[in-house]
Amino acid sequence: MKNEGKKETGRSEELNGKEVGEKNSKESSFGVDRRSVYKCVQCGTCRSVCPVFDVVGWESANTRGRMLIIKSLLEGRPPSEDVLSSLASCTTCGICAAKCPAGANPPEVVEAARAQLVKCGVTTEAQEKLKAAVMTSGNSFGETRSRLHWLSDSERAKLPEKSDYVYFVGCFDSYRYPEFAKKTFEVLQRFGVTLLPDEQCCASPLLRTGFLEDAEKIMEHNLEQIRKVGAHTVITGCAGCYTTLKNNYPEELRVISLPEFLAEHLEELNLKHIDLTVTYHDPCHLGRHNKVYDAPRKVIQAICTLKEMKNIKENSRCCGGGGGVRIGYPDISLELARNRLEDVPEGVDYIVTSCPLCVRNLRDAGGDIEIIDIVELVAMALE
Ligand code: SF4
Ligand code: SF4
CA atoms in the 13 A half-sphere facing the CB of 335: 14
Q: Where are the domains of the chain?
A: 17-123, 147-263, 270-382
Does the C-beta of 92 come closer than 6 Å to ligand 2? Answer: yes
Among 42, 53, 92, residue to substitute to test ligand 1 (most atoms within 8 Å of Cβ) = 42
Does the C-beta of 110 come closer than 6 Å to ligand 1? Answer: no
Residues 6+ apart with CB under 8 A from 293: 282, 287, 313
Does the C-beta of 284 come closer than 6 Å to ligand 2? Answer: no
Measure 69 CA to ligand 2 centroid, in angstroms: 14
As a 3-state breakdown, the chain gives helix, strand, coil percent values, each rounded to 5, of 50, 10, 45
Does the C-beta of 96 come closer than 6 Å to ligand 2? Answer: yes
350-353: strand order across its sheet: 305-306, 277-281, 350-353, 370-373
Ligand nearest, relative to CA of residue 47: 1
Give residue 266's identity as a one-letter amino acid code.
L
Fold for domain 17-123?
A: Fumarate Reductase Iron-sulfur Protein; Chain B, domain 2 (1.10.1060)
Element at 305 (helix H, strand E) = strand 305-306
Fold for domain 270-382?
A: Rossmann fold (3.40.50)
Fold for domain 147-263?
A: Rossmann fold (3.40.50)
Residue closest by Cα to atom 4 of ligand 1: 46
Per-residue pLDDT of the chain (383 residues; tens, 9 = 90+): 333 334 333 323 222 222 222 333 344 456 787 888 999 999 999 988 999 999 998 888 888 999 999 999 888 888 877 788 888 899 999 999 999 999 999 999 999 999 989 988 888 888 899 999 999 999 999 999 999 999 999 999 999 999 999 999 999 999 999 999 999 999 999 999 999 999 999 999 999 889 999 999 999 999 999 999 999 999 999 999 999 999 999 988 999 999 999 999 999 999 999 999 999 999 999 999 999 999 999 999 999 999 999 999 999 999 999 888 998 899 999 999 999 999 999 999 999 999 999 999 999 999 899 999 999 999 999 97
Q: What per-residue confidence (pLDDT) applies to 24? A: 33
Backbone angles phi, psi at 271, to 5 degrees: -75, 140
Q: What per-residue confidence (pLDDT) applies to 124? A: 86
Identical fold for domains 17-123 and 270-382, yes or no, is no
- In this structure, what DSSP letter does residue 115 have? H
